[in-house]
Amino acid sequence: MHPEPERTVPSAHTPAGRDAEVDAVLVHAVLDALPSPTVLLDPDGVIVLTNDEWTRAGEQHGNHIPPGADYYAAATAVHGDAEGRALVRSLRALARGECTSVTVDRQVPSPRDSRPRWYHVQASRVGGRGHVVVTHTDVTARVLAERTSAWRARHDHLTDLPNRAYLHELIDAELQRPDGTPVSVLFLDVDGFKDVNDSLGHDVGDDLLRELATRLSACTRTGDTVGRLGGDEFVVIGRDCDAEGAQALAQRFRDTFDKPFELAGGTARLTASIGVATTAGPDPHVRSTDLVRDADLAMYAAKEAGRNRIEVFTSELRDAAEQRATLAAEFVRALEQDELVLHYQPVMSLPSRRCTGVEALVRWQHPQRGLLYPGDFLPTARQHDLMTPLAHWVLGAAARQTAAWRDAGLVLVTGVNINATHFSTGTLVDDVMGALADAGLDPAQLVVELTETSVADDPERAAAQFAELRARGVEVSIDDFGSGYSSIGQLVNIPAGILKIDRSLVAFADGRREQTAAAIAAVVALGQACGIRSLAEGVETAEQLELAISLGCSFAQGYHIARPMPAGDVQPWMTAQRSAAAAPA
């Protein structure tokens, strides 16, 4: 059996004749049937045939290359770069039979369009003489969609700045540079941004963030990068920027806040807290996450120092953060293993001078450090979102203890402090009623106390939850009144039953008794007008107690009356106090 002779492809070297004409017609028909612009090249790269799509695309974009032209020269002339030369080398190797196909995506400028176009180039060898057929599929839409998607994946949708993931890529790239130049990261947080969102709405807050992105970008040096981590947190990468340069850059950012922001037809003055972290050069042990974390720690130090400040990272900040993290883990264990205890401070009913209630105050019996007071662990609990679990524990423990006293013949009303984070969850009423039900305690024996500041943060939610608690028989108290920013309108609209006058009003310096009395009298009168009883906190002296009584306060508590004490000491103390109050003067 004889092999079928190989068909020749018409070219400049094909002898003229009837068979060649038939082959040419057939090849033309095949090429025209292809949907993509296609050319047939001879072994030297000269265009032998083209299809109609090739002609149409060339005329449309103003770069038509006719038969007889040198495809290789044209391909190289498109860019004159390594990409073009690599394509030509691959096609020559294909023509020689050194590979079976060539596939590459190729960017081609269009003389009639400012935007380039992308083609998926595929080439195959035909026949045995080295002819190559090349198709060009327009993939511009796909490439642009992929690039847009990739860009969006690396940029913040609101400000178009690099996002968290891209910022870390950029920082890691800087840390890996071999030239040893310093890199600085600045972490900026807007002071009071939440107030803008709460008072003017999130749309106005978004406008503020866009304006801030523009201002920060205008302050940077050439080569620096401004990005947004999320919320009101921005990160700036300072390339070839040492610690001194980073502080100068941070000061420029602070200065940009001197100009008021135009918001919702008005103006707002804001400030920023900025943390700075710098690495002196490449270090295989330093990652972008380390540098951003260090700058973040410095920023929080700036906030804790009073806001509107610049703080530079130090190793002491990291040590303190590690200690807080350790303390947080230990605190979780404390909740699980009953290491927390409640001490109770008596509350005196001033008309009778008898103590009829207590306030529950949490302590931590740490296995190594001994008895810890709230100031030692509550800041860490707040930072690690542990205040709500703590409130659950306190509610349950206080309700059970109050029920135990009742069963022993001592009926008291117990006040429990609720943190704003628990308050904002919306579960306050269910949590309180659940603790009462579990302990079998009358709702009238519990007072829920929330600080004035937490009430002012969301007065509508406060009013709704307060009203429901009081409807179910639980009294509600506004704690630390006079230390925050509640308006009279808010006080009138919030259904609280007790107003605790902050110790800063109750205490008075020498010569300021008159002014203190006037302030307390005003608060008491305001409460009475709203049907609210007043409690004087922080009563330290007999004079302060007599002043609270004379001004019409209903209750008082403080060291002059009694210090907080363990639960086991409360009943003996109450018995002694009531005996003393009942004794004739």
In the chain, residues under CATH classification 3.30.70.270 are 154-320
pLDDT for res 11: 44
Higher pLDDT, 480 or 363: 363
Span 316-348, pLDDT tens digits: 988 888 888 888 889 999 988 889 999 999 999
Mean pLDDT across the stretch 370-389?
88
pLDDT of 260-302, one tens digit each? 998 877 888 899 999 999 987 666 778 999 999 999 999 999 9
Residues of the chain with CATH 3.30.450.20: 18-144
- Please report the pLDDT score of residue 199 as a whole number: 77
This prediction's pTM: 0.59
For residue 115, the model assigns a pLDDT of 76
Q: Does domain 154-320 have CATH number 3.90.1150.10?
A: no
pLDDT beyond 80 at 105 = yes
Looking at residue 93, its pLDDT comes to 93
The token pair at 416 is 């429990």
Confidence of residue 483 (pLDDT cuts 50, 70, 90): low
pLDDT confidence of 533, banded at 50, 70, 90? very high
Compute the distance between CA of residue 82 and CA of residue 75 in angstroms, rounded to an integer. Answer: 11
Q: Burial letters for 528-549: b for 16+ Cβ neighbours within 10 Å, e otherwise?
A: eebebbbbbbbbeeeebbebbb
* pLDDT exceeds 80 at position 460: no
Q: What are phi and psi of 367, to 5 degrees?
A: -65, -25
Of 387, 476, 399, nearest in space to 434 by CA? 399
Q: What is the pLDDT of residue 584?
A: 64
Among 428, 446, 449, residue whose Cα is nearest residue 537: 449
Distance, in Å, from the CA atom of 452 to the CA atom of 523, rounded to the nearest integer, reads 13
- Domain spanning 18-144 has what CATH number? 3.30.450.20
Q: Which segments of the chain belong to CATH 3.20.20.450?
A: 337-582
Dihedral, CA atoms, 105, 107, 108, 110, nearest 10 degrees? 130
Reported confidence tier of residue 3, pLDDT bands at 50, 70, 90: very low
* pLDDT of residue 61 exceeding 90: no
pLDDT band at 311 (very low <50, low <70, confident <90, very high): very high
Residue 267 has what pLDDT? 83
Query: What pLDDT was estimated at residue 38?
Result: 94
Which pLDDT score, from 0 to 100, does residue 1 have?
A: 37
41 has which bridge partners? 47, 132
Please report the pLDDT score of residue 511 as a whole number.
Answer: 62
pLDDT score of 24? 65
- Which of these, 315, 300, 313, lies nearest to 188 by C-alpha position? 300
Share of the chain above pLDDT 70, in %: 89
pLDDT range class, residue 5, cuts 50, 70, 90 = very low
Cα–Cα distance measured from residue 67 to residue 34, given in angstroms and rounded to the nearest whole number: 17
Least confident of 77-91, 123-137, 205-219: 77-91
Residues 83/84/86/87 CA torsion (nearest 10 deg): 120
pLDDT for res 407: 97
pLDDT attached to residue 458 = 67
| Token pair listed for 403 | 């029920």
Is the distance from CB of 208 to CB of 148 less than 8 angstroms? no
* Range of weakest confidence among 118-127, 197-206, 251-260: 197-206
Beta carbons of 206 and 212 less than 8 angstroms apart: no
Q: How confident is the model at residue 412 (pLDDT cuts 50, 70, 90)?
A: very high
Q: Kindly tell me if the per-residue pLDDT of 209 is higher than 50.
A: yes
The rounded distance, in Å, linking the Cα atoms of 272 and 254 is 6
CATH number of 337-582: 3.20.20.450
Query: DSSP secondary structure string, 354-374?
Result: EEEEEEEEEEEEETTTEEE-H
Mean residue pLDDT of the chain comes to 86
Give pLDDT tens digits for 174-186: 888 877 789 999 9
